[in-house]
A = this chain, B = another copy of it.
Amino acid sequence: KKPLTIDEEAYVQGIRNGSRLHLAKAITFIESTVSDQQQIGQSLLKRLLPFTGNSIRIGITGVPGAGKSTFIEAFGKMLGDEGFKVAVLAIDPSSSITGGSILGDKTRMEELARHPNAFIRPSPAAGTLGGVHKKSRETLLLCEAGGYDVILVETVGVGQSETIVRGMVDFFLLLALTGAGDELQGMKKGIMELADALVVNKADGTNEKLAKKTVAEYKQILHFLAPATPNWTTPALAVSSLYKTGLDTVWKTVQTFQHDMQANHVWQNRRKEQTVSWFKTMIVDRLYEDFFSSIDKKETMANLEQMVRQEKVTVSQAVEELFSSNSKE
């Protein structure tokens, strides 16, 4: 079989000149599980790496129903109208079992998708950590090379996904609903301490008064918590994605954050640490994958795990057993 080849230079130029088609195809290469496609993706990324790093990376999370997609659509359109190029790494709820809107899957962020300054890349929530793909970081870099000024990374509040997204963005935004007390019970532990801004959504109509009360409650809680970013005071804000109020304040907050954190180098240092820590995570993943690549090893592991669970062996003994069976192969 002939190996897959592409005109790399055409891709690099296409992406740099804002071709959505080339960008989308490059992301598909990066995400591919087929070896030669992956290699093309990596090769493209390598060539595009010098043109990355110039965007603001914003993570957006919130419990299902917090209005993530309506917020991203309204916020993204506002930025697009102001002339910013906006890329969204979005969750595709159609394949999700954990949530997303049941109605209107097809119309999710439809208006933003048609905006000339926007690019939306949905990832299936199924098989990923709350919509965060293993390759989301690399997708983000490709978007940056494509000249996008703002990258919005959406995640749904399940499992470890927030920590992963926090580890790839500059600014982390937690979307909340009115009624802090009730809602916090449903939030993942420690999530508030990852946020650089807490935004109470749906502050409109009869809900507006309650939203203001909720903002006050969150302010009080945030006062007691260590901020996610040193030398930054995490604000609580109210927005209406429906009536587009408060969105400009969110954007001003992000800009102030960028200005201050670049001045004190927290921004630059965080990015370096994020990259190194991603490197280390990938090493551990790879070691684990390689070690458990044989069916025999997986079976031994399953048996030992069962014995450990039933306290039939000590953990140290089980580890010894697992690694000694290695040398027998």
Contacts and interface: CB of A to CB of B under 8 A. Distances in A.
Interface stretch (A68-76, A123-131, A196-204, A313-321): A313-321
Interface residues of A, number: 53
Contacts of A284: 284, 287-288
Interface stretch (A88-96, A98-106, A239-247, A302-310): A302-310
A113 interface: no
A1 to B, nearest CB: 23
A279 B193 CA distance: 29
A187 B226 contact: yes
B286 A319 contact: yes
Given A49-B314, A316-B42, A317-B46, A181 B223 contact: yes
**Number of copies of this chain that the complex holds:** 2
A137 B315 CA distance: 10
Given A279-B319, A318-B279, A184 B286 contact: no
Contacts of A220: 220
Specify which of A190, A225, A314, A319 lies most central, judged by the most chain B CB atoms within 10 Å of its CB.
Answer: A314
What 7 A-B pairs have minimum CB-CB distances, sorted nearest first? A190-B190, A287-B287, A189-B193, A184-B224, A282-B319, A279-B308, A279-B315
